[in-house]
Every structure is written in structure tokens, then in C-alpha cells.
Structure 1
Amino acid sequence: MPPFRFIAPRLAAPRLATPLAAAIAMCLSTPAFAQSSGDDGATRLDAVIVTGTRATDRTVLESTSPIDVLGQDDLIRAGAVNGELGGALQALLPSFNLPRQSNSGGADHIRAAQLRGLAPDQVLVLINGKRRHVSSLVTTGSKIGRGTTPVDFNAIPITAIKRIEVLRDGAGAQYGADAVAGVINIILDDAGDGGAFEASYGAHHTDLEPIGRTLTDGQSTFLAAKVGTDLGNDGFLRVGLEYKQLEPTNRAGFDQVPPWDQTPANLAVQGRRNYHHGNGAAKDINGWLNTEIALGGSALLYAFGTYHQRDTEGANYYRYPDSDANWPEVYPEGFRPVSIGENLDVAGVAGVRGQWGDWDYDASLNHGRNEFTYRLRDSINASLGPSSPTRFKTGDYAFSQTLANFDLSRGFEAGANFHTFATGVEFRVEDYETGAGDPASYAAGPYTDRPTGSQAGGGLTPQDEADLDRDVASVYASVSSNFGEKLSTDAALRYEHYSDFGGEVTGKLAARYEFAPAFALRGAVSRNFRAPSLGQIGYESTSTGYNAAGQLIQGRLLSVNNPIARALGATDLTPETSVNASLGFTSRIGENFDVSVDFFHIDIDDRVALSEAITGSAVTDFIDETFGIGGINSVSFFTNAADTRTRGVEVVANWRHPLAGGELGLGGSYSYADTEIKRIVDTPAQLTAIDPDYVLFGVEESNTLTDAAPRTKALFTGTWANDDWNLLTRVTRHGSTKRVFNFGGGYEPEQVYGAKWQLDAEVEYRIGDRWRVAVGGLNLTDEYADLSNEDIYYFGNLPYDVLSGIGSGGAYYYARVRYSF
């Protein structure tokens, strides 16, 4: 990728006088679609951008594609629980969705984010313009992001960030594969002096309707420090450290016990809160650095990196005392396994940039690695009998990528027109590995009438292990042009070759024409693609848990190369391809109001997704008879499941006005994205030969692609500030979602969870030039998603679904102190 020039204009911000007057004005004013100004003092639509174009002087308003810009203060004031970057983006961006999962396997530990309602692995994340690696864990147990290997946003230190630019458009030709929904470019703090210390503490305080109690839980602690020093000749060194701790929340209801489990021993635990639904406990340590050193002449050495270590706990379904999954000698009152995630994430980039005659050059090396160890406690391998261990390691996962880039760019005039030409090459190596769990986690013991493997996640066996790698090489060229003062364009072409999939050509053309100083039309068309991740190709696992009907089963997720999967009709995966088109306008009226509206259309062919869970005695008997492996009740594998079409619109606007000697800002934004399925893969003949009723990709997984994520989201924001006070009010409308189950026999219950409103607020007070103290709250009206109906709430245990954007935490209150020097 070509070099990025980080330019942040400074605009003076007027000061206000009294917080009371501003608060009254905020309450009486009509919200507008807007976003407030960033910490650099520039309103976002005035901010110079480095994403989506090779030109070095374009602002958000002048971009040929829609872009959101978030400043450092925006992230601080987002009030994110435990300093999580993903939570801050969820609060600030209408097109960004990051639901908090529970009882969802690996998704309890690594949350998957969506842009424009598409899959988490269809958005490309950059750090200072360089590709970020993805997680090593395939999130197979979740609804949102099911079957993907997402970037772990919460592994990126939030206090390391200077600003974030979110390109809401396909950009594969500009930045490479995966940029189907858009690009999120995270730009690190580059201050050459000074620093800051920050501490915050918060907790949930909520009325939980299903149990009729008021709870205080989910206490969170966040500590951070950063400092910088000037290295001379525009050089600097910036380093920082963060510590986070999150206590669990629980929104489970009273257990009614399923009818088929109502034995005397099990009825003895009826009416208790046997399940857990909510956040798990977590501890994080983050470190980061960002530096530039002048080498003499025009050359500059730069380096940046992040370090992340996180220990997390996740929830799993309760096992009853009188169950073949339990031994009363070990757990006389039943047990609920707890999953433990040990996540280590390291990334570093080093490079040299400078000038070579009329050319700017950038040469860099980029390495990132994620390691995840999955463990269980309070579990058991029932087939081993009462002497079974209760703690297990169920598997190790690792993903790494190494990149080398060399990029050239230069600007040149042609008459009254100015063009920026860029070209470059990239070579990338990816490696994916999985390691077996403890032998006891997958062993088949002497008690053959009991399920084998550790409960809540059988360990990876030596046969499940994967060791895959591939090489990716690409070459690109792009031109950003200004034809006079009214017309600007961006054009790019890229060829990318995968050692396992061959070559793909992507391209993009975008343009903006300013009809008048107050109005401009813009549009773009692009072709993009995404290759299946190595995890989607090679991941295998064995699990024991409950199916959609609440019955305990043993299941296998198989790679497409597994002989069992092949016998069921699995085929080699192929890359996803997409065509993106957008059309919109921007308008600025005077100095106080600006607005942008963008319509988009995205066709994606051959989307990679998990198949339905293929269950029942027919598949169990087939595997036993054909392969001599008994007791497998459910099988799934990846497939190129469907072609989809996503259409939508996004609106962003700002209004500013002096008030009481300072400035009042009103704003908001709106996003609508509707995904429909155009084609579904045929069920293979091998599968229907086993049972004519089997469907490879049906209602449950179709629901995952189309209706599980909210189609709409709106943000309304009011801000006011003077020399002493910063006031913030934010109202969010989370759109409706839909859950569909297939319980078999044609019984397919569903529920629509209605739209919900969320109120957030914060008051910050400055003490002198260095101290700031703030108090605030998220979801101050203590709103919850709709209660799940009797078909879905698991016999009273899980009253709330994980789909709604408002979550199931209830009201959250926090305090923050910050010292800057």
C-alpha cells in the first residue's frame, strides 16, 4: 500500500459559559443527523483523510466514498465498558454492530463485529494503513459472526489511538482482499511530547424483570498510561500501557427444568438460577508503541506495535444432577461448565519511507500473530467415570501473517488538473495451526453409555489438528485526480494471487462532482473478493452440548477435506466475489450545517458459511456404519452457501451554533442495510440419499445472513463545552432483529425482537489545565431487549436473546479521571 500522510488540521473551538444553559438547550433542540467534532478540534467533515484516496488534501466532505472519522476524545467519551475499543465503535458508528455473546462458545471470548450487516471477515482492518491480522479462533458457537475468523478489536489498545477512519465502501482494489463491506483504518497517537494517565470504574445497576430483583454486577476497572518524547528532526517515541478487569454479569432466569429431565433429583434444583447469561469475567493487559526516527535526508524510519494478553471466562449450559453427562459423586447438584480463554496477540510493523527524486516511497515489514488456548473448568468427561478430571485443555489455536510491502507514489500536474499516481507490490504469508487438547478431553472411557469428551467442548484430537499455510502476492496501481475544483476521481486496479486459489482481479472507480459550493454528487463501483480463511478450510472440533430443542448431543464440525464431510457432500471452498455500487450526495450550508446521504448496493456470490447442523439417527447410523465412529449426533461443515444482495442507505449530518459564549453541537447518523438471499446452494445428493429431509443450508443459517443483525440503527447526539465543562447526551435506536430455529419435523419457531431506544449521558469537568473528571451512564433508562417467547427461552433459563444491539446488561454507570501533561 502507498504511504499514508497523517494530516490533522487544527481549528479553534469556541468556549461556552454555563453548563445549565447548554443542558436546557440540548433538551429543547430537535436532534439532527450528525456526528460531533473530534479531539483535534476539527469537525469530522472538515478533517483531512488518508483512507480511501491517494490524494493528500481531501476532507471527509470531499471524499469520493463515505467515511466516518472518530477522534481520541470521541473514544474516551463513548463510555465503553472496561475501555473496550469494540464497545466504543458500537456506541459511535451506526453501520457497526458488535453484539455481546453468551453461551456461544468461542464468541464469548472474541467478539465479532459487522459493518453494513455483512460478515465480520468481510471488513478489512488497518493500523496506520497496514493490514491487521485476524483471530486464530473460528467463532462457530455464535449467531452473529458464526463461522468467521474476525479481527479482535478489543485486542487493540483504545488509548493508543489518535483517530479512526471508517471507509464504508468496497475497497479491495485499493487495500487488498477482505475489504468487501469497507475498511477501518486505526491511526495511532503520534504526539512527540506529553502524556496522560487515566482511570475509570463502572458497574451495572439494573432491575431484572424475569427474577424480580435489583442487581449490581459487572464491575469494571480500567487503568491506562501513555507518554511520548521528542527525538528531534520531527522524530518521536510514544508508548503506553493498559490494564482492564471485568467482573461477570448474569441475566439468567429461574430454571423450569425441561419435561424430559424432570426426575426427582432434577426437580430438586428447579426454581434456581442454574444457568448463566451475560458477560464473563475478563482481565486484559495491553501495551503499544509508535515511533518515527529521522535517518537523514528525506528518509524516515518508523515502527509501531501492539501487545495484548487477555484471560476470559464464558458460559455454558447447565448439566442436571440426574443426567448421563454427570456423575452425582462428582457434582451432586449438577454442574455448569465454564470455558476459559487465554488470548495472546502480538503485532509489529517496521519500515522506511521518504523521497526518491519526485517519488514518495514506503517499504515495510509487518508481522502479526494470535494464539488462543481453550480450557474448561467445572466440567467432566462422563465416559471416564467418577475419577474423570474436572479441568481440561481442549485445544490450542494459532494464526500468523507476515507481509512485505513496497509502495511508490507521486503527484503531477497536467494543465489545470492534479493527479496522484501510486503503485506497489505486496507479499503475504499466512499460517494456521491447531493443537490437540488434553487426552482426557477427548478420550472415550470405559463407560460406553455416557458421552465421551469433556462436557461443553470436547478436546481437539490429534486427528483434528491442522497445519495450513499459503502465500499471497499482489500488485496494484491507482490514480487520484482533481479535474479543476469541481470534479475529483479515484481509480484503482489490483491483481492478487493466492497459492491455494489462483489469481483474482479487483477494480474500483469513484467520482465526486461539486455542482455548487453547497452540493456535490458522488458515486463508486467496485469489484472485490474474499478468500476463505485458513481457519474455515482447516478447522475441526468436537463438542458436547444442547441442540436447539434443549437436548444434549455430541457434534462434530468437520473440515471440507475430512472423509466424513466428503461422504456427506462437502466440496472444496471457493472465494467470495462481490460487486459494490454506491451513489450519494454531500451538502454544506454555511459554516454551521453539513450532511451526507449515500445509497449502496452489494451483490456477493458464493458466501462462505457453516452448513446447518445435520442431526438425527440417520446421519449417526451412516457415520457408524461407514467409518466405524459411533455416537456422533450432529455434523456440520463449511460451504459456499449462498449468493446475497445487500441494499441500504446511510445518513450523516452536523449542526453547530455558538451558544452562551461557546458552541452547541447537535448531530446524529442513520444506517439501513437489508440483506436478501438470491440463491442457496443445492443440498448434495449424498446427503439426501441418507435422509430426503436433510437440508444443507436452511432456515437457521439463512436467518444468520439476513435477519439476525439489526437492519437499522440511528444515533442522535448533543454536545456542549466551555473552558470547564463538557456535556454529552446520546440517544441510540437499535433496530429490530429476528431469530429462527429449526427444531425438526417442520417445527420452525421464530421471534422478532423489536427496536429499542438507549439513552447515554456524560458530564466532564476540567480542573485546571491537566485534570479532567467525568461521570456518566449508558442505557440510563435500563432498557432490555424483548423477552424471548416460550419456544426460545430454554425453559426460563435464557430470557433474553443475544441479537439485540441494546444487549442484556441493563443500565451501566461509570466515573473517570484523567491527568494530562
Structure 2
Amino acid sequence: MFKSSPLAHAALIFLALSQAAWQAQAQASAEQLDAVLVTGTRAKDRSLLNTPVPVDVLSQEDLQRAVAGDGNLAAALQTLLPSFNFPRQSNSGGGDHVRAAQLRGLSPDQVLVLVNGKRRHNSAIVNLESKVGKGTNPVDFNAIPLSSIKRIEVLRDGAGAQYGSDAIAGVINIILDDANSGGELEGTLGGFHTKFEPTRETLNDGAARELRGKLGFKIGDSGFVRFGLEAAHREHTQRSGADQIPPWEEQSPANLAFQGKRNYAPGEPETDQLGLWLNSALALNADTQAYAFGTWTQRDSKGAAYFRYPDSFANVPAVYPKGYRPETTGKSQDLQLAAGLRGALGDSLGEGKVWDYDLSVNLGRNDFKYGLRNSLNVSLGAASPTQFHLGDFASQQLGLSADFSRALDLGLSKPATLALGAEARRESFRTRAGDPASYSVGSFAGTPGAQAGPGLQAGDAVDLSRQLVGAYADLSADLNANWFADLALRADHYSDFGNAFTAKLSSRYAVSPSLALRGAVSSNFRAPSLAQTGFSFTVTDRGEGGGLSQVRTLPVQSAVAQALGADKLKAETANNASLGLSWQPSKSASLSVDAYDVRVKDRITLSERLSSDALTALVQNQFGVAGVTGVNFFTNAVDTHTRGLDLVGQLRHDLAGGELRWTLASSFNKTTLSHVRNTGPALKALGIDKPLVGLEESNTLTEAAPRDRHVISANWSSAAWNLLARATRHGETTRVFDFGGGFTPRQTYAAVWQLDLEAEVKVTRNFSVTVGGVNVTDRYPTRSIDDISYFGNFPYDVLSPVGFNGAFYYAKARYSF
């Protein structure tokens, strides 16, 4: 199962010793099982043991032991949640800087992210070159400081009727640290050490340095302030193979001198990140509490692009006599600030304080500056700059919400819970043009625009906004001693596309004190993002005979797109159903199994590039724009059907003076395309008759993410030690590429096991030291076939769930006070 290594042998011995004690008497606590949940229900007595829908709770300790390697939140979530996928895309433009993640194999923007129960904003950059999440601007998980997190609740079920847009795959609610005393300092050093088979080298790179600190103190009788800072620097990795030089490049001596060298640079980007966070509350009186929280992160990152050879149409030898490899740059600033009042209200009938309320304002904003270095605009010749600003992107949301809940006597054995709420939100999206040199057309031969760019043109800048209002009602009750049910209804109105109505019914029935059945049916929706409704982008090139040509990403509401038959975007709608069981034979053991079915209609994707001579002529004759040789636009082109099964088990027992906790988590899912729309009559009249979604995007939606993942971990802790062994099996994936001319290579990548090990020793009551490794057996995905590896330069698939960087080792020290 694993490659031979001393660490692997130690892990297997540890697992074998633990297995021998499997039948030991269990006398363990179940604090996580008994903890009250705040996600997916408004009832105040739901825990992991009695929730009607599947919820995972990830503690601060879980996250600390899963964060090594990437050092970020999304990687930790993939480590802990089999249904969460976080591919390390590379050479993917904006996707190098803001990486998209998936839940249950669905789109990155079909999962709702909350912080302290308040909606998190989306990132601003629109990823046009990425595979997973192409055309989306999802939440940037890695902009949330890890040290700020107390726990994470992951609802694996549709929840549109409770939270509104985006909650098709589920909800991830990040609860911030609220300790009112003490603090912590933590420092980490790490790096990759790997045997890289494609070049038969031993590589040591990707060095990481991280520092985190936090402090809390009490205010009054029940108030607190908790705040922290963290900083990290991570160097890039280089995982290219030996370059065979593409045959269309000139086979000149200058170019051939680079044959067999590592000229490209797929791998982890270089990043510098600084994060600040705050969580606080203050009692104003016996019934009212004010609260405020916020996070701020700045990240500078450098991504990789393709190598340009010395004798190439993409080079000016006077500038780069030895060729060059451009680097994309990103500067992201991310802010969330929320404040509010919560407490209890009296009843006019004198029944006491019966209504709990929460009134809040929530601001979220992301600004992204996209750039390029070590590049040039060939058409400007030797006078071209080598560094470019490609454009500015900004997204913002400002929300006001009011939530009320109370106990309601319906004559049942226990009072029911009634929750009512309303929300108003304004969203905006803005782009600004890059440097003129990044997109201008000079007088010299060669491709115009910055290489690995070009920049956003002045005519493509947009400033968009919309408003929405929504209201919900939620009634939950124990119908009898064994049966709990929850019904939620919601209505939303968006100023740009109209109305959405959603509903959810969930229920749990206790067959016995230890065994329960649960299930839910719901309707959900995702509003098209402002970027999808209005983003515009133009690439200018030279066509046949030296004439200028354009390939344009059109806003769907533009006159040109409308003339080509583009329809106004509708909201994605989904019908979700789930059925499962939960079993707790003892306080130290639990098991849950949940099957689900998600049918998404009108899924939004970026269309294929559409082109024909008739299209070029129509755009010129009707709109006066010459040389448009291709267009694409966002469209509700696909219906998908996702089916899956999640299994989560846990067992605790005493062993060798400590406690051993076993966990098993497995996820199976399969997505198919139930319908793909063809081009409409307007495009058919122009000689274009094909599906709007092509082969590569269809593959990304259905087979590029693993259909199964399994995580088995053993964690032994005592007063002085904490030992962790975690084995992860990433299921097989299939990738299909369309290089044009009917050349569509396909490859299935085999399942792969990954082993992580960690040992922590508590030197004193307050000070601990940890050493560990991620992927210590140095596993890589299947080597890409020649037709896919781009002439040896990309030996491994950049979407591989196990990554393509090899083993990462780290050491960290933590001081708590």
C-alpha cells in the first residue's frame, strides 16, 4: 500500500498496536457529540447525536493537526473532510492566486460559507484559465486566518431555505475563537523533500515559515475581546519535467539548447501573507449584548506561466536573448467586518422574555490587483516593458439581517421553536483596465498584448451592483419522544434576475436510544454572480494577412451577445434529497451513513469559443466592430445530477495510559450531465451548431474530481504526548483535453494512498514541540501520458487530489499562556 520508508514502517507498527487494543473497555468522553450545533437548525437543543441532517464538527485541535503542508484552511479541510476537494492548480492564471475548492463534487460557488453565522463574501478575481471553478469567483478560504478559528461546522445538505443563495452543496460555518483569557504563540518551519522521478533528482524546496499569535481578555462580567495576528512566507516549488520542445517551435540551435532542461515551473506559488482578526462581545444590560468581529488578510503571490523560447514568435531576442518564463502576480486584500446586537425581548402579554433576537450589519470586501513580470508585449518590440499591471478587480457585499426565535407551545411534549428573519444585501463588482501596454497593439510583428496576459482593456471595465431582500420562517418541533421535524420556507427577490422561493423539510426518527433515521428534501438556488452577468474581456491578435482580430468574452446583456442568442442568466435551481442513519452504541463510539441526490438545473458555465466567418461579418455589419473571430459568454447550459454516500465513524478507548481515537470518513459521489443545451437558432444561422459546453468542461464537471475519498486516522493522546497517523485514499480521476483538430487525449489516473504522521510532546504544561510529515511515503499521481504531459514539461496532472509536490516535513513549537 505504501512505499517502503522508516516513517511508513513506524506508522504501520503504531496502527497494529492500536488495532490490538480495539476491544478495550471504552471510558471516553464525547464532548463533540454533545456540543450544541448552530448550523442547519434554529432549535437550541440539536447536537451531532440528534441532528436531522449530516453535520461535521472540526475542532481547533483537528485543524491544528491538519494544517501542515500548505499551511492554509482549504488544505486542512480537504485533509479532514473526504467530500471536500482542493486541487492545487498551477499555470492557471488567476487560479494560481485564488484556488477554488469543491464540496461533494459540485461547483466551488455552490457552497455557502459563513463566519460566526454571517455570510462570507466572494473573491473578486474571475478565473478564466482554471479547470475546476472556471468562470467563478468563489470564496477564498485561505483568506481566513487559521488562528482565529474555534471550530468549523460543515452542513452536508442543501440549505437554501435557511440561508439563501449558494447553499446547494452545503454550508461551512466558521466559528471564531471566543476565549476570554490567555493566549498562544506558535511558529512553524517546513519544506518539501522529495525524490522526483521524472528528472531523477532529490528536490528540497517550498520552504515555509509561519508565525501565529493570539490573546484574549475579559470585559465586565460576560464580555470578551479575542484577537490575533499571523504571518507566513512560502517559497515556490518546481515540478516540471525535461523539456522536449514542442514541434511547432523553431528547431534552431538557440532553442535546442534548452532541450532536456526544466524550463517550465508547475508547482506551488510563492506567497507572503499577513492576517489580523478580532472577535468580541460586550454586555450592555442583562438582556442585551453587543458584538463585533472581523478578519483582514493581505496576500502577495507569484504564479507560473509557460516558457517562451529564444527564437519564438513570442519573444524579442534583444530583450530576452535566452528566452523567458513570465510570472503572474497577485495582490489580494480581503476584509470582513460584522457587528450587531443580540439578546431577549419581552412579551406584551407579560409572559417574560420570549423572543431571542440578533440584529447585525455585515461588510465584506475583496480587492485583487493582477499583474505580470518577466514578460513583454512582442508587438512593441524592444521598447516593450517587462512588467505589467493587468487589471484591478473588486467585489463587495453589505448586508443587514434581523433574526428572531422563540419557544412556541403547540401542545406537544416539548415546546417547538419558531424562527423568523429578514435580510437586505447590496452586492457590487468592479473591474479596472490594466496598463495600456498590457493590451495595446504595436507596429512590430508578433502577438500583441503582454505574454501570459493580456491585460483588461479600457472598454471592458465594468461597475455593477444589485440589491436583494429575503425573508424566512422556520418551525421545528419534537412531534413526540422519538420524532423531530423541521420545516423552513424562504423567499428572495434580486433586482437583476427576479424571485426565488425555496423550502426544506428535514426529520429525524429515533428507532432506539442509540439508532436513528434521518432525512431531508429541499429546493435550493444559486444566484448568478455579478461577475458572471457582466464580466467582459477582450484578447486582440493578428489574423490572416496581418489584420487585427479579437476574441471576446461578452457580458450576456450586451447587444452583441443578445444578437447571438445569449439569454439573460437565470438562477441555478436544485432539488436535494438525503436519507441516512446515525448510530451511537456507546458514548465512545458513533457511526453515520447518509445517501444524497442533488439535481441542478440551469447550471451556469462559460460557453465554448464560438466562431465562424458569418459571425465575424454579423458583428462588423450590425455593430461596427471589425475582426471579432470568436466569442464566448456565460450561459445556463447544463443540468447535472449528483448522487453520493457519506460515511463517518468514530471510536474512543483507553490505551497505555492515554486515549486512542479512531476515525473513519468516506465519501462516494458521481456527477453526470443530464442535459446539455446546443447553440440556439441565432448561432445555427451563422453556421455554429454544437453544444455550448465542450469536452473539457464536461470532463471537469463530471470526472476530474475523485469520485471517492477515504480518511482513516488514529490519534493517541496522553498527558505528555499526542501521536497521529492518518491514511488517505484519493480515488481515481479522469482527464480529457481538447487540443483542436479532433485531438482529444484522455487518461484515467489511478487511486493513490497518502500517509501523514505527527508527534507532539508537551515539554511543559504550556510549551509543546511537534514534528511531522505530510505524504511521508512521497506518493505522486500516475505519470501523465505523452499526449497530455505537454512534451515532458507537465509530468503530473495539476488537478491531482494528492498534489504533485511529494513529501512535506515540518516542525512547530507552541506556547500557551
Judge same fold: TM > 0.5, yes or no: yes
Give distance in 1, aligned partners of 2:128 and 2:412.
56
Indicate whether 1:109 and 2:97 are aligned. Answer: yes
- Contact 1:162/1:190, CA 8 A, preserved across alignment: yes
Counterpart position of 2:384 = 388
1:724-769 C-alpha deviation (Å, 9 max, x unpaired): 0000000001111111122333332111111110000100000121
What amino acid is the match of 2:255? N
Count of residues in correspondence between the two structures: 789
Residues 317 and 629 of structure 1: is their aligned pair in 2 closer, same or farther, counting only changes over 3 Å? farther
Residues 278 and 23 of structure 1: is their aligned pair in 2 closer, same or farther, counting only changes over 3 Å? closer
- Contact 1:734/1:806, CA 8 A, preserved across alignment: yes
What amino acid is the match of 2:268? N
Indicate whether 1:304 and 2:293 are aligned. Answer: yes
What amino acid is the match of 1:427? A
Give distance in 1, aligned partners of 2:762 and 2:639.
53
Indicate whether 1:801 and 2:782 are aligned. Answer: no
Matches within 5 A, 1:358-373: 358-373=354-369
Give distance in 1, aligned partners of 2:306 and 2:381.
20
Give distance in 1, aligned partners of 2:743 and 2:59.
49
Give distance in 2, aligned partners of 1:222 and 1:543.
39
- Contact 1:393/1:459, CA 8 A, preserved across alignment: yes
Residues 476 and 247 of structure 1: is their aligned pair in 2 closer, same or farther, counting only changes over 3 Å? same
Matches within 5 A, 1:47-446: 47-264=35-252, 265-357=254-346, 358-413=354-409, 414-446=411-443
Give distance in 2, aligned partners of 1:32 and 1:116.
34
Counterpart position of 2:678 = 682
- Contact 1:456/1:543, CA 8 A, preserved across alignment: no
Indicate whether 1:579 and 2:568 are aligned. Answer: no
Secondary structure of 2:511's match?
strand
1:698 Cα deviation (Å)? 2.1
Residues 91 and 198 of structure 1: is their aligned pair in 2 closer, same or farther, counting only changes over 3 Å? same
Q: Please identify, of 565-574 and 653-662, the stretch whose mean Cα deviation from structure 2 is larger.
A: 565-574
Q: Please identify, of 553-562 and 374-383, the stretch whose mean Cα deviation from structure 2 is larger.
A: 553-562
1:691 Cα deviation (Å)? 4.0
1:22-48 C-alpha deviation (Å, 9 max, x unpaired): 995533455999xxx9xx974533332
Give distance in 2, aligned partners of 1:657 and 1:780.
27
- Contact 2:11/2:725, CA 8 A, preserved across alignment: no
What amino acid is the match of 1:183? V
Counterpart position of 1:642 = 638
- Contact 1:22/1:720, CA 8 A, preserved across alignment: no
What amino acid is the match of 1:664? L
Secondary structure of 2:248's match?
helix
What amino acid is the match of 1:435? R
Residues 599 and 87 of structure 1: is their aligned pair in 2 closer, same or farther, counting only changes over 3 Å? same
What amino acid is the match of 1:112? A
Give distance in 2, aligned partners of 1:454 and 1:21.
52
Secondary structure of 1:700's match?
helix
Give distance in 1, aligned partners of 2:677 and 2:556.
15
Counterpart position of 2:5 = none
What amino acid is the match of 2:34? D
Secondary structure of 1:604's match?
strand
Matches within 5 A, 1:687-706: 687-692=683-688, 694-706=690-702
Residues 616 and 32 of structure 1: is their aligned pair in 2 closer, same or farther, counting only changes over 3 Å? farther
Give distance in 1, aligned partners of 2:10 and 2:196.
36
Indicate whether 1:763 and 2:759 are aligned. Answer: yes
What amino acid is the match of 1:469? S
Q: Please identify, of 383-392 and 412-421, the stretch whose mean Cα deviation from structure 2 is larger.
A: 412-421
- Contact 2:69/2:809, CA 8 A, preserved across alignment: no
CA RMSD of aligned residues (A): 2.2
- Contact 2:612/2:686, CA 8 A, preserved across alignment: no
- Unmatched 5+ residue regions in structure 1? 1-19, 546-552
Secondary structure of 2:699's match?
helix
- Unmatched 5+ residue regions in structure 2? 1-8, 347-353, 542-548
1:575 Cα deviation (Å)? 0.6
- Contact 2:678/2:689, CA 8 A, preserved across alignment: no
Q: Which of 483, 487, 493 is residue 491 of structure 1 equivalent to?
A: 487
1:54-101 C-alpha deviation (Å, 9 max, x unpaired): 111211121100000000011111143353011111111111111111
Counterpart position of 1:597 = 593
Give distance in 2, aligned partners of 1:134 and 1:31.
48
Give distance in 2, aligned partners of 1:343 and 1:543.
24
1:558 Cα deviation (Å)? 2.4
Percent of pairs identical after alignment? Answer: 52
- Contact 2:127/2:136, CA 8 A, preserved across alignment: yes
1:204 Cα deviation (Å)? 0.4
Q: Which of 525, 547, 554 is residue 558 of structure 1 equivalent to?
A: 554
Q: Which of 710, 718, 721 is residue 717 of structure 2 equivalent to?
A: 721
- Contact 1:22/1:660, CA 8 A, preserved across alignment: no
1:170 Cα deviation (Å)? 0.3
What amino acid is the match of 1:231? I
What amino acid is the match of 2:159? A
1:156-181 C-alpha deviation (Å, 9 max, x unpaired): 00010000000000000111111000
Q: Which of 453, 471, 489 is residue 475 of structure 1 equivalent to?
A: 471
- Contact 1:32/1:655, CA 8 A, preserved across alignment: no
1:693 Cα deviation (Å)? 6.0
Give distance in 2, aligned partners of 1:761 and 1:677.
39
Give distance in 2, aligned partners of 1:163 and 1:439.
47
Relative to the length of structure 1, the TM-score reads 0.93
Give distance in 2, aligned partners of 1:435 and 1:353.
40
Counterpart position of 1:669 = 665
What amino acid is the match of 2:38? V
Matches within 5 A, 1:498-517: 498-517=494-513
1:260 Cα deviation (Å)? 1.4
Secondary structure of 2:202's match?
strand
Indicate whether 1:608 and 2:596 are aligned. Answer: no
1:677-717 C-alpha deviation (Å, 9 max, x unpaired): 11111222333444456542121111121111111111000
Counterpart position of 2:773 = 777
Give distance in 2, aligned partners of 1:663 and 1:494.
45
Residues 795 and 730 of structure 1: is their aligned pair in 2 closer, same or farther, counting only changes over 3 Å? same
1:661 Cα deviation (Å)? 2.5
1:320 Cα deviation (Å)? 1.8
Counterpart position of 2:742 = 746
Give distance in 2, aligned partners of 1:191 and 1:478.
31
Give distance in 2, aligned partners of 1:380 and 1:560.
32
What amino acid is the match of 2:55? I
Counterpart position of 1:6 = none
What amino acid is the match of 1:90? Q
Give distance in 1, aligned partners of 2:238 and 2:407.
57
Relative to the length of structure 2, the TM-score reads 0.93
Give distance in 2, aligned partners of 1:226 and 1:578.
41
Q: Please identify, of 474-483 and 679-688, the stretch whose mean Cα deviation from structure 2 is larger.
A: 679-688
1:555 Cα deviation (Å)? 4.4
Counterpart position of 1:13 = none
